[in-house]
Amino acid sequence: MCENRIGSAMSSSIFKIKDPSSIISKGISLALELRAFILKFIEVRKSKDRFLSAISDQAFLIDQLWNKLFTFNDSLTTLVDSIEDFPSLTQMDEFLRYTADAMRIYSEFINVYVGFSVAVKEFSANDYLMDNLRNYKGMLYDYVNRVSETVVDKNTIIIGGNFYRFLKAYEKDIFEKPSQKELDETMERTKVFMDKLKVKILPNLIKLKPRVLFRPKRMELLYKEPVKQLTKDREKIKIDIPEEDLIKLTSNISTPIFYVYAELVALENKVKKQRKLTYRSRFS
């Protein structure tokens, strides 16, 4: 029953853009386990290897950035929850600052994960390392192979069916399945968040002229860097998994910041379209 509600929510127009973090986050615990294996391998060999150390550092950073992004998501949700009838200037300022900072972290998260995946592919080409990893933990060996398969080039990865099937096969070992009650609460909070975002926040971005946007081209201040950079970076990770399969991954719901990002992109496109129509009507 809950899966149907999630499917309904995810079939809305904003989900024409798939949230890469919702599937990447499922494998973070394995990235940390790979880091533990590498650190132990380096310790036993009593030698410093820059390549292995780099993978270890990237795995650690992925976890740090995800936790940071989670904190921003929580702060953003709490802020939106606090808005009752009409957002104040202070609330709008905070909303925009949280949003801009979270999108910068999201961009960094994507770039670090792509770099990590490329390095893991190089790791997988070393038979000695892979033999040791297989003996250490078979699931981790499979993880490295599945991540390696996602790499197209140094700037692009495609997460497809093999990676999805790996997560489904090991989901009980990788991440904790939330209860039905937790899923219901998440969906209800998401619905309230989206309603307030669309009805009370986005329509007032220009009207209220928040201090952070108080310039001749106010909206462009937000789009100039965080939104445009995230749009560019998001192209580095492509999700080649049907929506219905994504839904089957336990609680695979987009992060709040991704909801905001998708709506801001839609709003920007709408504003651009209106400007073009206005320009044409003036000179037609």
User: What's the token pair of residue 216?
Assistant: 């001749």
Evaluate whether 62 touches 109 at the Cβ level (below 8 Å). Answer: yes
Q: Other C-beta atoms within 10 Å of 93: how many?
A: 17
Per-residue model confidence (pLDDT) at position 126: 94
- Among 6-15, 16-25, 145-154, the range of highest mean pLDDT: 145-154
Could you tell me if residue 11 is inside a domain? no
Q: What is the structure's pLDDT at 222?
A: 61
Tokens standing for residue 78: 């709490």
SS3 category, 134: helix
Least confident of 48-57, 98-107, 168-177, 213-222: 213-222
**Dist CA 81 CA 74 (whole Å):** 10
**Which range of residues forms the domain containing residue 141?**
19-283
pTM: 0.84
6 is a domain residue = no
Average pLDDT over residues 10-38: 77
Q: Which residue is it, tokens 């390095």?
A: 119
Give tens-digit pLDDT for 156-213: 999 999 999 999 898 888 877 667 787 778 778 888 888 888 888 888 776 655 555 5
244 inside domain: yes
Q: Is residue 12 part of a domain?
A: no
Across the beta sheet with 237-239, the strand order is 151-153, 156-159, 237-239
Average pLDDT, the chain: 81
- Assess contact for 201 and 87: CB atoms under 8 A: yes
φ, ψ for residue 156, nearest 5 deg: -145, 135
The answer to whether position 271 is within a domain reads: yes
**Residue 9: inside a domain:** no
In a domain, 10, yes or no: no
Q: Residue 50: is its pLDDT beyond 90?
A: no
* Phi, psi dihedrals of residue 151, rounded to the nearest 5°: -80, 125
Three-state DSSP state, 153: strand
Number of domains in the chain: 1
Residue 1 counted as domain residue: no
Name the phi and psi angles at 253, rounded to 5: -115, 140
